[in-house]
Amino acid sequence: MAKEIIALILAGGEGSRLGVLSKLLAKPAVLYGGKYRIIDFTLSNCINSGIDTVGVLTQYRPLQLNHHIGIGKPWDLDRMNGGVTILSPFTKQHKGEWYSGSADAVYQNIHYVEEQGAENVIILSGDHVYKMNYSLMLDFHKKNNADATISVINVKPEEASRYGIMSTTDDGKIYEFEEKPANPKSTLASMGVYLFKWPVLKELLVSDHQNEQSEHDFGKNIIPMLVQEKRSIWAYPFSGYWRDVGTIQSYWESNMDLVTRVPQFNLFDPFWKIYTPNPVKPAHYISDTGHVTRSIIAEGCMIYGHVRNSVIFPGVVIEKSALIEDSIIMSNSVVKSCSHIRRTIVGEKTTIGSNVATGVGEFAESRYNSKVYQTEITVIGSCSYIPDNTVIGCNVAIDNHVTADDFTSSEIPSGSFIMKGDEYGA
């Protein structure tokens, strides 16, 4: 049966600026907001918008993502007709190839879209945090009889050069598009949400595939091609909360947005729930010695220490006299007694020994990678162990799967790092 609209979620991104957080998993699978993974927002938007056919294009470290999505049960995407399909790169008769860009990923899955009989295809990014009703965008798209509709958000003029910027007529028709312009002509930025008439997109993908100069990217190639060919392209204005949590700082800030009294981004909306697999844990426990303010705490946690201004994921244990401040502690990690965790992101299943301090002292430039680790925030990977009495500075990067043997000193000053190669120590 033909579908009016299906979604394709680009979820192959490495998210290299998230450092150790995305070293072992794709960026859409990074944990966010006390119980979610980033892709949950896009998947939930789809089902809440009435889109029941979703292809997820994976490439970079897909294991966690595949496991998370499964057959789509938490999102009610386990369907007889449609549902969620993981589209990973595959080999063909003569050769196999990786997806060489976002447009190439869709090009290589043309057969999937054709099989669904889709009239329109919405291309989404699996690494953005937002709530959006795509069905309103579809109405707008149909009303304008558009070849393509691009969702845009107003950004600050000083930030505009980081985005793809549109110039539109008063009624919203796009006549110019510039990817990351040095001198932006407007503040309407593309959110990476593209709605196409499928025959138009197919034609563009085929011609882009034949162009050897192309990087096969939606922002760099497909959208400019639309403008160049003077197609009917429209800007659909979006004004809600939208974040590309692509850097450690923006990731941390966006999580911290959730602990404010009335968060700009409301997860409590009963009519726009965000779905994720259920961790199957009892409600959390705060002990006599615990104290929690300005924080969000998920199921299964046991809090014996103090927590303020922090985001705590399911199954975390904070022992007595420990203090967690301005931090994010991911699922099933343990912070032992008397430790002071400050401005730190701690990955899953990590144990912080007792009397450890993090976020100590002043900022220093990262000696590991100053492009990735560029703010005060210290990042500790998953499945790691921090020995008792360790003092860790600001802007420190500690890898996943770190053991006590990896620590040569009990002082890890600001800007330094402990890195291990890949997860098997190679």
Judged by the rule CB under 8 A, the positions of this chain that interact with another protein are 33-35, 73-74, 258-259, 261, 267-268, 273-276, 278, 280-288, 290-299, 302, 311-313
Give whichever of 294 and 371 is closer to another protein, judged by the CB atom.
294
- What residues contact 209, with CB distance under 8 A and at least 6 apart? 104, 107, 216
Q: How far is the CB of 324 from another protein (least distance, A)?
A: 12
**Which helix (H) or strand (E) is 175 found in, with range?**
strand 174-179
Minimum CB separation of residue 88 from another protein in Å reads 26
Q: Which residues pair with 87 in a beta bridge?
A: 57
Of residues 35 and 68, the one with the C-beta less far from another protein: 35
Residue 263 CB, shortest distance to another protein, in Å, is 8
| Least distance CB 183 / another protein (angstroms) | 41
Which amino acid makes up residue 266? N
CA 346 to chain centre: 17
Instruction: Please identify, using beta-carbon distances, which residue of 26 and 328 lies nearer to another protein.
Output: 328
* CA distance between the termini of the chain: 50
C-alpha dist (Å) from residue 312 to 36, 45, 293, 397: 11, 24, 12, 20
**Minimum CB separation from another protein for residue 90, in Å?**
30
The total number of residues written for the chain in this structure: 426
Other residues' Cβ atoms within 10 Å of the Cβ of residue 92: 8
| Core vs surface per residue 19-43: b (16+ CB within 10 A) or e | bbbbbbbbbbbbbbbbbbbbbbbbb
Shortest distance in whole angstroms from residue 342 CB to another protein? 18
Least distance in angstroms from the C-beta of 345 to another protein: 16
**Cβ closest to another protein, residue 287 vs residue 403:** 287
Q: Give 57 or 312: the residue with its C-beta nearer to another protein.
A: 312
At residue 402's C-alpha, the angle toward residues 398 and 403, to 5°, is 135
In the complex with another protein, the residue whose CB is nearer, 286 or 372, is 286
Nearer to another protein, 293 or 403 (CB): 293
Q: Regarding beta strands 148-154 and 188-197, do their DSSP bridges make them parallel or antiparallel, or are they unpaired? A: antiparallel
Dist. CA 156–CA 76, nearest whole Å: 37
Give min distance, CB of 393 to another protein, in A.
29
Residue reference for tokens 């998953």: 382
In the complex with another protein, the residue whose CB is nearer, 90 or 268, is: 268
Give SS3 for 81. coil
Please report how many Cα atoms fall inside a 13 Å half-sphere around the Cα of residue 320, on the Cβ side: 3
**C-alpha to C-alpha distances, 106 to 11, 186, 227, nearest whole angstrom:** 12, 29, 20
Choice between 121 and 307, CB closer to another protein: 307
Compute the least distance from the CB of residue 49 to another protein, in Å: 16
